Structure 1
């Protein structure tokens, strides 16, 4: 069984209670979370950090897609909305640019892509930030419930899921038509990259399944049924909408994260066979060209922030492998058609210098990956422990 890294002292043991680390993605087997006897015997500091993080996140909720003042092109506040992060306005074709309102900028200017450069107003409408907080809060709080037995944590998850997905007054419409909206003349349309906003469905699946399997008293049948109804309506969009199909066919991290989301939706619908088919499709498909024999990830290395993107895609790959293991499919030792493996990709990413791309601050993003790989493959030479201690 995959040891849960979140309860490993090598990863979170030195964290202070209340510290929150939002990992690119994660799925932890709920059976392991519920089996405290199998946890690392030195995990008390990590447990305290998880409980403290859950309490900190709880103070921010609940979150709702309706908490925004800017409407999507549909004018329906229940439609999810986020802005494409790397698309910038070029208003040189518009007169009186200093007097343009935000709405005029959105509708009259041309928007151009600047890879890796975040547009300053990205979070003026922040459904994406709200969902990221939600998936972290569900993830941490479900584990906090398992650690403490305190029903407050389970009740919080129930309330948050109900607010985002179930309550008619606040529920999100089951689509991502306006996720990572590309603004500008002739555009104002969602992008397939917007599906990335919901990659954290894997965290939500880990949390909700923990409460379900653990029979948490405060996780209500009404919320569970409502969530399943929402996901049942969402799944056809996720499988068949043009944006979703384009994202599923993306060969880089976007495709990897798509399968995180799709498999998680199946898990939440109690369809383990669907989840297994999803991750098998990933590992027999786009995964085959993602890692070279050297361990390099060519599609991520070509980006403006290769240190970040190597770790980012590995987080998605490992999440797919963790879900695969949960549904009875071992993907950890698969080899790509190029001769690469998950472990090779991790070993390669560990030794890359961040100087050339000015990414010194991104080096820590690989820590989650290294800790997980150490758990899965072992660390006979101590290189992973040494890396995490440095």
Structure 2
């Protein structure tokens, strides 16, 4: 009776009471989460300052990466790089990207374990890494992407590189999950939130960011996904509403065909992988931005296009890739599909057991670097 009275008081006061993720999803992931969290407890921080590249125009604290599909001209090592769409150059600098993915994995694992167990040692461990990336003046990363996806001899950075920070989304979401723990340093929390406020300012004002926002394919989708994630963490309701409108008025009508496919992704040399990636991002936007007042899950264009139709289009080719009507991707065809977030988020929203059963059987911890790079959500428990 006392618990019921307390619950009613909290609800009347408008307090946020997190609902537990679906029990069946916890049951599927519990062992994996606790095993990965045990690994994360043993890790020491590694930020962008741990490694550098002589080709970077930035400094020690600046994130740097290089365009994946750009290569040197044979026999001309000093010439500007040339493009080979879909073909990843293995000699490009990726250390900062890998460090960010590792950071995301650590925070995602620790936050997931905390969500399941309530054990605050996971929160204590996470703060060591959060300090290193966001507040320690010796190791922090500057809140911009001025030097991401550079191309030797052509660009010191590009708007297209903003896609690299999709791996900060699970960091922000992990902090949201852990922030109410009594052991969470409130000063650190305020500093982390300030870092993301600064990054959002850059993401919404710099010419690179505007280029990325206006991209017509998965890059435009991922801009909205990131801004929505970071805006929810910082409590920026204006940006959240902007992202909802962007999904409704730009992304869905301009990217999805009548059958639920994404023609701009199908036109690439890796149509299968890009279709999976874009659908993951679209569905994640719906997961982030839907609440009691706004449901992107049920939003429908006048001609009937919805995110549900997008999942319906791609699901048969995830359940049985042999049915895929296009040519195989030029690279990484064998590595897809994995346990995609669109399956678990869609299954959880519509109580679709078939989608959940398929998700359950797929690889939940892929190791291929290209797959991991293009899997925006790897710890679904912190998002449910």
Please tell me whether residue 78 in structure 1 is matched to residue 78 in structure 2.
Answer: no
**Is the CA contact 1:145–1:151 (under 8 Å) kept in the aligned structure 2?**
yes
1:135-180 CA distances to partner (integer Å, 9 max, x unpaired)? 2221221121122222221112211111111111111112101111
Q: Is the aligned partner of 1:219 residue 2:184?
A: yes
Task: For residue 239 of structure 1, report the CA deviation from its aligned partner.
Answer: 0.8
Q: Any conservation in 2 of the 1:290–1:336 contact (CA below 8 Å)?
A: no
1:295 and 1:340 in contact (8 A); partners too? yes
User: In the alignment, what sits opposite 2:159?
Assistant: 192
Structure 2 residue 240 is the aligned partner of structure 1 residue 269: no
Correspondence for 1:374 among 336, 347, 353: 347
Tell me, in whole angstroms, the C-alpha distance in 2 between the residues paired with 1:81 and 1:75.
7
Task: Work out whether residues 143 and 196 of structure 2, in 8 Å CA contact, stay in contact via their aligned partners in 1.
Answer: yes
Taking structure 2 as the reference length, what is the TM-score of the superposition? 0.80
Aligned residue number for residue 82 of structure 2: 112
Query: Which residue in 2 is equivalent to 1:68?
Result: 51
Aligned to 1:154: 123
Determine which of 311, 318, 327 is the counterpart of 1:356.
327
Q: Which of structures 1 and 2 has the larger relative contact order (alpha carbons within 8 angstroms, sep 6+)?
A: 1
CA deviation string 1:249-308 (max 9, x = no partner): 011111111111111221222223432322322322222121112111101111111111
Contact 1:199–1:261 under 8 Å retained in 2: yes
What does residue 315 of structure 1 align with?
A: 280
Tell me the equivalent position of 1:24.
none
Relative distance call for 1:289 and 1:49 in structure 2 (3 A) is same
1:210 aligns with 2:210: no
Q: Residues of 1 paired with 2:64 and 2:36: CA distance?
A: 27
Q: Tell me the secondary structure at the aligned position of residue 135 of structure 1.
A: helix
Which residue of 239, 243, 255 corresponds with 2:208? 243
Counterpart among 327, 331, 347 of residue 312 in structure 2 = 347
> Mind listing any 5+ residue stretches in structure 2 that lack a counterpart?
1-15, 318-322, 363-384
Distance (Å, rounded) in 2 between the aligned partners of 1:367 and 1:188 = 33
Deviation, 1:385, is 5.2
Distance in 2 between residues matched to 1:45 and 1:350, nearest whole Å = 20
CA shift at 1:356, angstroms?
2.5
Q: How many residues align?
A: 338
Distance (whole Å) between structure 2 residues aligned to residue 180 and residue 158 of structure 1: 29
* Corresponding position of 1:35: 19
For residues 366 and 340 of structure 1, the distance between their equivalents in structure 2, rounded to whole angstroms, comes to: 24
- Offset of 1:340 from its aligned partner? 2.5
Aligned-partner SS, 1:332? coil
Report Cα offsets for 1:170-215 as digits up to 9, x if no partner: 111121011111112xx24112111001113332222111112xx2
Aligned-residue offset at 1:242: 1.1
Alpha-carbon distance between aligned partners in 2 of 1:300 and 1:175, rounded to the nearest angstrom: 27
The CA RMSD over aligned residues, in Å, is 2.5
* Equivalence for 2:355: 384
The runs of 5 or more residues in structure 1 that have no matched partner are: 1-30, 95-104
| Contact kept? 2:56, 2:64, Cα under 8 Å | no
Secondary structure at 2:50 match in 1 = coil
Q: Quick check: 1:292–1:336 contact (8 Å CA) kept in 2?
A: no
**In 2, Cα distance between the equivalents of 1:110 and 1:173?**
27
The change in CA–CA distance for 1:54 and 1:72 in structure 2 (over 3 A counts) is: farther
The 8 Å contact of residues 48 and 140 in structure 2, kept in 1 or not, is answered as yes
* Cα gap change, 1:72 to 1:170, in 2 (>3 Å): farther
Deviation at 1:357, TM superposition (A): 1.0
Task: Give the secondary-structure state (helix, strand or coil) at the position aligned to 1:179.
Answer: strand
